[in-house]
Chain A
Amino acid sequence: MVRALYGSRLRSQASFRLSFLADLGGQALIVAVEFLELWVILSQVGVLGGMTLPQVAVVYGLGALAFGIADLLLGEVDGLSPMIRSGKLETLLVRPVPMLLQISSLDLSLRRLGRILVGLAMYVVALGLAGFSPTPTLLLLAVLAPLAGAGIFSALLTMAGAMQFWLIEGREFANAFTYGGNYVATTPGAVFALPMRAFFTFVIPATLVAYAPTLALLHLPGPALIPGWAGWMGLPTAILAWVLAALLWRAGIRHYTGAGG
């Protein structure tokens, strides 16, 4: 069933080839332009948050890759509030398929592959430039980190969606944590003052997505609160975040009252 749901969406998008390619290119360009911000700063100062340009590029590529995967799978959960308001959610509720799976496959946009591809390319190339010396353990971390990061972000996106069952108008509120989390994740964590670093590590685990794994991969000393071994905390954090997200999502569905339609 999962294959049928996603397969039909993939086929339908592949049929509009030109529009698809333009979209893909546009998404890729956005990631590149966003990185220009860090690149311009680093071309002026050399070191930002204790990291050189290739090291920052590892953080950025890894963060973009992780967010890209999560956004591809669950990015549309953010658009729940119009569905709640218009009553479109009812039609999804009566179907015998988990709602999250329906929303995820309903608007799976392949253009989001652009972000994933650029992120992956940057991650791999920057690791090479930053002098990554792979051992079996570190190689495992290098593969695990983007997946754990995607797990963390997709849990955050799900919580943001679940929140909309209560705060229909307050959709933007969650953006501070989802897109804001992405912004933090793609930045060297040492630039943040201690209270902010603590918040984006222990409450919203954004620094554990890319910054902490990069420290571990490149044997860099971490700032206060984020030691090198925290790079391995991504997976347990993702699992914990998903437990919370699942509970919140279930509570949200239970709370939902139809708009009558």
Chain B
Amino acid sequence: MSALGTIATASFRQYSTYRVATAAGVFTNTVFGLIRASIMLAAISAAGGELRGYDALQAATYVWLGQALIAPIETFGTRELGERVHQGEVAVDLLRPTPLLPLMYAQKLGRSSFLLLARGVPPLLAGAVITGIALPESLWSYPLGLLSLLLAVTVAFLADTLVNLAAFWVLETRGLGVLYMAVMNLLSGFLIPIVWFPDWLLTIARATPFPSMIQTPVDALSGRVGPAESLLPLAVQAGWVAVLALAAVLALRAGERRLEVQGG
């Protein structure tokens, strides 16, 4: 247990050394937030001040919370594990005394904590100054929102790991990763809230783990969905964690049996 704790701390520190990159990321994230907020607010005002439960302030909050989650959720996906499988370096990872998936999860938690604080919170504050953001009515929304965020990071980590593990079977995973990112950005409710979708698309989105990555934590943190009502979406998140964790363990086990590393 303490080994994983050390790994998480080290991962947090590792990312904190890139200061210029962090500042650049915050800046870019804020500019994109401004662009997205402009589109959303124009849509709300065209709809007469309210669109399917979102007024201007709720929509702005939705955008800035979404921007805050980009970095810790890693919506652009990671490619490290897939590349290590291709290079054969994964053989070394599999020999380590700490099992691969918990090790990577510890790294992810350390990294995400740093990214949330350094890259997520500043754009959120910028947004609060520029457009204003809605704060939840109930204090319970804060702990439930943070729990939802932890579950969201876990769901995103597991799904991303599964995409990377595909490298055991297919030679080039970049195309798959790009495809995954496009679908995830849409169905997670990152670009627009999923309740704005037409019914058929909403049905598709709800059948996938994607809303558990962005829409659910944003709803819980912003208080748009009250504490009592957010218990069900949180349970759905926990369900996806269980399903995807099982899938990732099975995929890794099957991949290990297939793995063939040349040379030494």
Contacts and interface: CB of A to CB of B under 8 A. Distances in A.
Nearest to B25: A172
Contacts of B27: 172-173, 176
Contacts of B25: 172
Interface of A is mostly: helix
Q: Give the bracket for the number of chain A residues in contact with chain B.
A: 35 or more
A140 interface: no
A185 to B, nearest CB: 11
A184 interface: yes
Contact of B186 (A27, A37, A44): A37
Q: Give the bracket for the number of chain B residues in contact with chain A.
A: 35 or more
Nearest to B28: A176
B46 A47 contact: yes
B38 A180 contact: no
B191 A45 contact: no
A134 interface: no
A17 B208 CA distance: 31
B20 interface: yes
B91 interface: no
A22 interface: yes
Nearest to B21: A169
Contact of A30 (B18, B39, B182): B182
A48 B43 contact: yes
B17 to A, nearest CB: 10
A49 B24 contact: no
A175 to B, nearest CB: 5
B186 A48 contact: no
B24 to A, nearest CB: 4
A27 B198 CA distance: 24
Contacts of B18: 169
Contacts of B47: 44-45
Given A19-B172, A29-B182, A30-B178, A169 B34 contact: no
A34 B43 CA distance: 16
Interface string B79-108: 000000000000000000000000000000
A187 B172 contact: no
A180 B21 contact: no
B42 A48 contact: yes
A128 B200 CA distance: 28
B196 A44 contact: yes
Nearest to B184: A33
Contacts of A192: 35, 38
Contacts of A33: 182-183, 185-186
A33 B18 CA distance: 32
Contacts of A41: 39, 43, 192, 196
A183 interface: yes
Interface of A: 19, 22-23, 26-27, 29-30, 33-34, 36-38, 40-41, 43-49, 167, 169-173, 175-176, 180, 183-184, 187, 190-193, 196
Given A19-B172, A33-B185, A47-B46, 19 more contacts: A22-B175, A23-B178, A26-B182, A30-B179, A33-B183, A37-B39, A37-B191, A41-B39, A41-B43, A43-B198, A44-B52, A45-B46, A48-B43, A169-B24, A172-B21, A172-B28, A187-B39, A192-B35, A196-B35
